[in-house]
Amino acid sequence: MNETLQERLFTDYPDILSKDNFPSGIPCDDGWYDLIDNMCYHIKRRISNVHWGWGKDEILKEVPVRILEMNRRFSGDSLSVEFFVDYPVTPTELQKCEIESRVSSIKDYTESISARTCELTGKPGELYAKRTDKLVSKILCKRLAKELDFVDYHNWHSEGGEE
């Protein structure tokens, strides 16, 4: 990802995306910027505040959720994200279950959408393989796939690399 977009993410979400966890930068292309931005936004809105206690003793505490790792899956078919939840106090089983459910739903949604989003443009995409090297795969929009000499991954592999 280019430095300007990375810096924007690090600045907008310093508690979620730490430069310490990504010393070489965010290992994704620019097309996934909006996915990562939306994921961080929803972490901040849906998870960062959870009610601890009930009734008049209820207190609102921050529940820091950090992204520890983020990269393309080895298979190249989507983004992979690993989170860490830093509980400020020991949660009840119900609270822990609720937070883990929220984290899991955001993770699953982001990973799922990444499999259909061009890594370079952010437009709708699908998995393509390099015509000359089936081990090189990327999620691309049709226009870029053609320009970069990539072919439909599933057809390429099912037909043994023949078109």
Q: In which band, very low, low, confident or very high, does the pLDDT at 84 lie, cut at 50, 70 and 90?
A: confident
122 or 92: which leads in pLDDT: 122
- What is the phi/psi pair of residue 15, to 5°? -80, -20
pLDDT tens digits for range 56-66: 454 556 677 88
- What is the phi/psi pair of residue 115, to 5°? -70, -10
On the question of pLDDT at 21 being above 80, the answer is: yes
On the question of pLDDT at 51 being above 90, the answer is: no
Average pLDDT over residues 10-39: 93
Average pLDDT over residues 14-41: 93
Average pLDDT over residues 19-24: 91
In angstroms, rounded to a whole number, what is the distance separating the alpha carbons of residues 153 and 133?
Answer: 11
The predicted pLDDT at position 83 comes to 86
> How large a percentage of the chain has pLDDT more than 70?
84
Rounded to two decimals, the pTM is: 0.83
Using alpha carbons, select from 148, 136, 128, 110 the residue that is nearest to residue 32. 110
The predicted pLDDT at position 52 comes to 52
Determine contact, residues 52/1, Cβ cutoff 8 Å: no
162 or 122: which leads in pLDDT: 122
Average pLDDT over residues 1-18: 94
82 or 52: which leads in pLDDT: 82
Average pLDDT over residues 119-138: 92
